[in-house]
A = this chain, B = another copy of it.
Amino acid sequence: HRGAAEEEEEEGISLEDPWQDEEYFGSYGTLRLHLEMLSDHSRTETYRQVILKNSASLRNKVVMDLGCGTGIISLFCAQLAKPSTVYAVEASSMADYTRQLVKQNACEEVITVLQGRAEEIELPEQVDVLVSEWMGNCLLFEFMVESVLLARDRWLREGGVMWPSSASFTLVPCQADGYYSEKMAFWERPYGLDFTPLQSLAQQEFFAKPKFSHLMEPSDCLTAPQDVLSMDMYTLQVRDLEEMKSHFTFCVEKSGVFHGFTAWFTVHFESLEAGGAPVELNTGPNSEPTHWKQTLFMLDRPVRVSAGDSISGSIVLQRNPIWRRHMTVTLHWNIKSIMEDTENHQVGSKSFPMWR
């Protein structure tokens, strides 16, 4: 949730916690992020629909809501279904307010609020359902998913259900004309002056890191989007998170300017009923916008492409070995022109720290 511009300079690490937990949980002790998440109608209503559609099957079940924040998902469970118990787990100081909200909504018979880290809390029993909203920018950023996997291995009973049940990571080569103009073309002739000496500084300041909070138009996609990574929340292991890699080949569908790649994610909630339809939360450009928006990876220089060209390459999400909530996304690309014009055969690669 931090913008690149607010990023501090990297300092000596010896005195700092590589998980930056004080900062991480501190930010969830204030209302700003919770309001942003609760106001995200698509996100919150999806979780509500998951509970509502599975309310019959949730009867007498034991649920854990991990990283519950204000407790909204736990309250949906108690309000819309009849679980025997919901353990609402929250590490930040918001937990005090979560308790008040549980009381205010007369749910204290069902919901038990536990303040503590997922790795440290103790429950009196195993759970049937582990529900959590752990997704960050680019799906993995902040790596809350690790806490979910550790809680799964400790507390989910054999045959229990994970919500979300799976996740996919989608990529598309795209135009980003508005952003490029605003940050780079601007310097060409502002107010009749030549400001191009600032362009290398602009490239470093605005394009070296990914742009969170990008809302792309579907028409900015140069090719069909592809799911390049997928995660099964039952079998995924913490060690799998260290490096996630995929190859791709995109076929350009319309001529345009290739400014970069845009990424987003989708998560799926399987039904508790045999044959029941899963619920999906899609954060892509064809769905209702969410607070995650999309993530834009800008190339250093835009490349003109034509319908029929191919863009092949790879993406690697490399978790930072020291700063455990951070990762670097590395993209390689190889543009093959349909024109057989070797001039336009371009190869490139770029690594984007998020944020360290």
Contact = CB atoms under 8 A, between A and B. Distances in A.
Interface string A322-354: 000000000000000000000000000000000
Interface of A: 5-6, 30-32, 35, 38-39, 44-45, 48, 70, 72, 75-76, 79, 97, 100-101, 104-105, 182-183, 186, 190-198, 201-202, 205-206
Contact of A205 (B32, B193, B197, B198): B32
19 contacts: A5-B30, A5-B32, A6-B6, A31-B202, A35-B183, A39-B186, A44-B191, A45-B191, A48-B191, A72-B190, A72-B193, A76-B191, A97-B201, A101-B194, A104-B195, A104-B196, A104-B197, A105-B193, A105-B194
A31 to B, nearest CB: 5
Nearest to A80: B192
A123 B87 CA distance: 70
Given A30-B205, A35-B183, A101 B191 contact: no
Contacts of A6: 6
A198 B5 contact: no
A193 to B, nearest CB: 5
Given A76-B191, A101-B195, A197-B97, A186 B35 contact: yes
A329 B208 CA distance: 39
Contacts of A48: 191
A83 to B, nearest CB: 16
A170 B210 CA distance: 40
Contacts of A197: 97, 100-101, 104
Given A5-B32, A75-B193, 13 more contacts: A30-B205, A31-B198, A31-B201, A31-B206, A35-B186, A35-B202, A39-B182, A39-B186, A70-B195, A72-B193, A79-B193, A97-B201, A101-B195
A38 B182 CA distance: 11
Given A39-B182, A182-B39, A186-B39, A194 B32 contact: no
A182 B31 CA distance: 12
Nearest to A44: B191
A192 B79 contact: yes
Nearest to A78: B193
A96 to B, nearest CB: 10
A165 to B, nearest CB: 23
A72 B191 contact: yes
A20 to B, nearest CB: 15
A144 to B, nearest CB: 20
Contacts of A202: 31, 35
Query: Looking at A6, A35, A196, which has the most chain B CB atoms within 10 Å of its CB?
Result: A35
A171 to B, nearest CB: 27
A194 to B, nearest CB: 5
A192 B79 CA distance: 9
A43 to B, nearest CB: 11
A110 to B, nearest CB: 14
Nearest to A29: B201
A27 to B, nearest CB: 9
A39 B75 CA distance: 46
